[in-house]
Chains A and B, each alone.
Chain A
Amino acid sequence: MVKKWILISLMSLYIIFTAGCWDRVEIEKNAFILGLGIDSGKDDNLVITYQVALLEAFKGEGEKEKSTQQISIESDSLSEATNTLLRRFGNTPNLSHCKLVVFGEEYARKGIKDSLDYLFREPNLRRITSVCVAKGQAKEILDSEPQMAPSSAMVIDQIITQNSTNNSGIFPFTDIGYLHRNFIRKSDIALVGVKAGKDNVEVLGAGIFKDYKLVGWFNDREVTGQRFILGEIHRGLLTADLPDEMGGRLTLNAYNISAHTIPKITDRNIKIKTKVLVEGDINEVTNPDPLTDTKATLEYWGKAMEDDIRDAIETAFKKGRDTFGVDCFEIDEKIEGYYPKFWNNHGKEWDELFKTMDLDLDIQVKIRRVGLIEP
């Protein structure tokens, strides 16, 4: 009888313990940080801007109230700034939904190496958090309130991850995982460039980093060329300029692009063989019907597109190799994969070896359809 009562009281005690959790933080007490911006402050300090979600605006529709709140903190390091946040904000910062990390242009030019360790080590920041570099200050990017979306960090993250499939000028995969992979291998990187407008944000080209310092920018066309070399391009709108009588400005809606790059090492000469296959439909032509024969027209236009793509890739490659001296095309990863022994012996001299590389392009464009009217 006594045993039964002991058992019942133990069970009741246990129910009290199982009803909660030691690490419990009430959901309203969580300050969900959607975006993290890093700028340089005075004397080697960092200015960290946190974009905190205001939960009421996310709950339902209604008038557009402010849905995010930005807080800027000047401090020595990222972890200290997150700690300072506890002094200014009544809720617990929660980084597990952070969508975007923005580096300000000035800070990026000084070098982003110091803040990278926090981004890699923090258990709550995920590897799929997008990273970008701002033309201007990171604070401006996070401060802007885009009209069609609750938060600028979410918008940029979605542009980078989803719209890069369709628009070939958006550099596709800059996230913390990409940073980490290249940081360990001491490779150079490119990060998406973002510009803040009055009430919107725009993704423009890519920032090129040498040794984790910003050295220059690629514009949209060069990013397209870069994506061909990387092999990370699936669809896009490609344009070519033709002489007026042959069509004027030609736009191809390429719905299927496959690009592969294989390095080939022969007797100390490294060639990058890129094979590109593009299939698309004609979207827009300024002066249609240049030749009466449709097939000849399509062939001519196909050749013109091939030349244009070749030009885009070569421009990007030469700008990376000669102007900046940066291998932002992940070619070193490919060489490590295809020629591991060569990489073990010569990998340390990659910075010089890279400058001696040549491109070998094989481009094929097939125009399949022309839309509703004759070309």
Chain B
Amino acid sequence: MLNKHDRLGGIQYIALISSTIMGVIAISLPNIAIESAHEGALLSTLMAGILATIFAVIMNILGNLFPKKTIVEYLVTLLGKSLGKLLGLILIIYFLSTTALILRVFSDALKGLLLLNTPLEVIMISMLLTAVYLCLNGINGIAKLSELFLPIIILSILLLIGLSSSNFSFVRLRPVLLPSLWQSIKSIPNLSSAFLGYEIILMVTPFIARKKANIPNTLIGIGIPTVIYTLLVIMAIGAFGLKPTQQMNYPTITLARKINFPGAFAERFDIFFVLLWILAAFTSVANFFYMASLSLVRLVTLRNYQPFVYFLAPIVYMLAILPQDLPEIKMVNTYIGYLGLSISILAAVLLILVLISGKKEHENG
């Protein structure tokens, strides 16, 4: 089933990681950073990104030790049938919940900002059906789409950051430049949910050409979101100040609205940005959904994942409908952040296990 032609290249690997991470959270990232870390917002974002980089590299090394298997398969090899399958199930639940969360946050934001009268369900079903259609075509479609969308997403965020520089005032940024270290460290768990998505490395390594899933590519893949998110926090605080950003629900959109083209050349830049943000959210949803279906099919050791895609779609929808209002969504976001961190720590533990017990002679390149 996997021959040389199916293998993806380095750029697609980078695109997969970056586009899964850069998603819906970009719209409220400065708010989350300041709420949990106050003056330490900038340092906290940077440290959360560095922590994510470390975990991503660990996962990369782990993935390369089992080049033909996804994590659900070598979990069983390493930890035995019952424990391995249990952890595999938790992984699937994690992927499903994250898909549902991203879907819900995205639809909520879109409904509140632009489409007031459209029912929430309609927005969610439209996006979910599109994601289902994409996932049915396999990793090829997802990788190529991520590769296609990533430059557009990066360009639009950089455009936003560049054009907002006229609203930027360095004086407002000064309080965050001398933060308290302890406060920044304490709020890393809250911020790490913004960087979730690098788990795709564990699932996708079998499909990447052998030499391309290496550490430099991983570093680029996770470096892009880190840099962009940090720049975004800098611009938001510089344009608004610390306290106003904390009160805003969607600072990035407000940043886009404040952009002034001289001579009224283009008035509503925020709509342009929202369109491109929809692309970013879509790649995240589709990628996580694919990971969920792929994990499930590998867990039950079958080969064709397409029925599982159809099976999981209603489950995702029902999970996404569950939270009733904004505070509940934030609570789910926090729990999923902790779950994601636990999975990253699990990957690190697995790596240590493998290196200690030297099971790698079981796998050939």
A residues bordering B, Cβ < 8 Å? Answer: 21-23, 96-97, 123, 126-128, 161-162, 177, 180-181, 184-185, 333-334, 336-338, 340
Return chain A residues, CB-CB under 8 Å to B117.
22-23
Number of A-B contacts (CB under 8 A): 58
Return chain A residues, CB-CB under 8 Å to B247.
184
> Given A184-B243, A184-B244, A184-B247, A337 and B171 touching (CB < 8 A)?
yes
Establish whether residues A22 and B115, one from each chain, have CB atoms under 8 Å apart when the complex forms: yes
Of the listed stretches B253-261, B316-324, B334-342, chain A binds B253-261
Q: How far is the CB of B139 from chain A (nearest CB, A)?
A: 25
> Given A22-B117, A127-B258, A161-B260, A181 and B174 touching (CB < 8 A)?
no
Residues of B in contact with A, size category: 20 to 34
B residues bordering A, Cβ < 8 Å? Answer: 39, 112-119, 122, 171-175, 178, 240-241, 243-244, 247, 254, 257-258, 260, 262, 267-268, 270
> Given A127-B258, A334-B171, A340-B175, A181 and B244 touching (CB < 8 A)?
yes
| Main SS at interface, chain B | helix
Q: Which of B114, B241, B258 contacts A185 (CB 8 A)?
A: B241
A sample of 23 inter-chain contacts (CB < 8 A) reads A21-B118, A22-B115, A23-B114, A23-B115, A23-B116, A123-B113, A126-B268, A127-B254, A128-B257, A161-B260, A162-B262, A180-B240, A181-B240, A181-B244, A184-B241, A184-B247, A185-B243, A333-B172, A333-B241, A334-B171, A337-B172, A338-B174, A340-B39
Return chain A residues, CB-CB under 8 Å to B175.
336-337, 340
Q: How far is the CB of B278 from chain A (nearest CB, A)?
A: 14
Establish whether residues B241 and A181, one from each chain, have CB atoms under 8 Å apart when the complex forms: yes
Q: How long is the Cα–Cα vector from A123 to B110 in the complex, in angstroms?
A: 11
Closest to B247 in A: A184
* Closest 7 pairs between A and B when the two form their complex, measured CB to CB: A22-B118, A337-B174, A337-B171, A340-B175, A184-B243, A126-B257, A23-B115
Q: How far is the CB of B125 from chain A (nearest CB, A)?
A: 11
Establish whether residues A23 and B118, one from each chain, have CB atoms under 8 Å apart when the complex forms: yes
Establish whether residues B260 and A180, one from each chain, have CB atoms under 8 Å apart when the complex forms: no
Closest to A343 in B: B175
| Main SS at interface, chain A | helix
Closest to A24 in B: B117
Q: How long is the Cα–Cα vector from A267 to B260 in the complex, in angstroms?
A: 42
Q: How far is the CB of B262 from chain A (nearest CB, A)?
A: 8
The winner among B39, B117, B257 for most chain A CB atoms within 10 A is B257
Establish whether residues A96 and B268, one from each chain, have CB atoms under 8 Å apart when the complex forms: yes
Establish whether residues A340 and B178, one from each chain, have CB atoms under 8 Å apart when the complex forms: yes
Q: How long is the Cα–Cα vector from A333 to B174 in the complex, in angstroms?
A: 10
Q: How long is the Cα–Cα vector from A161 to B171 in the complex, in angstroms?
A: 22
Return chain B residues, CB-CB under 8 Å to A97.
267
Q: How long is the Cα–Cα vector from A243 to B77 in the complex, in angstroms?
A: 97
Q: How long is the Cα–Cα vector from A123 to B115 in the complex, in angstroms?
A: 11
Closest to B257 in A: A126
Establish whether residues B258 and A128, one from each chain, have CB atoms under 8 Å apart when the complex forms: yes
Establish whether residues B257 and A22, one from each chain, have CB atoms under 8 Å apart when the complex forms: no
Q: How far is the CB of B317 from chain A (nearest CB, A)?
A: 18
Return chain A residues, CB-CB under 8 Å to B267.
97
Q: How long is the Cα–Cα vector from A97 to B178 in the complex, in angstroms?
A: 40
Establish whether residues B258 and A177, one from each chain, have CB atoms under 8 Å apart when the complex forms: yes
Q: How long is the Cα–Cα vector from A336 to B176 in the complex, in angstroms?
A: 11
Establish whether residues A22 and B268, one from each chain, have CB atoms under 8 Å apart when the complex forms: no
Q: How long is the Cα–Cα vector from A96 to B270 in the complex, in angstroms?
A: 12
The winner among B118, B171, B172, B270 for most chain A CB atoms within 10 A is B171
Closest to B113 in A: A123
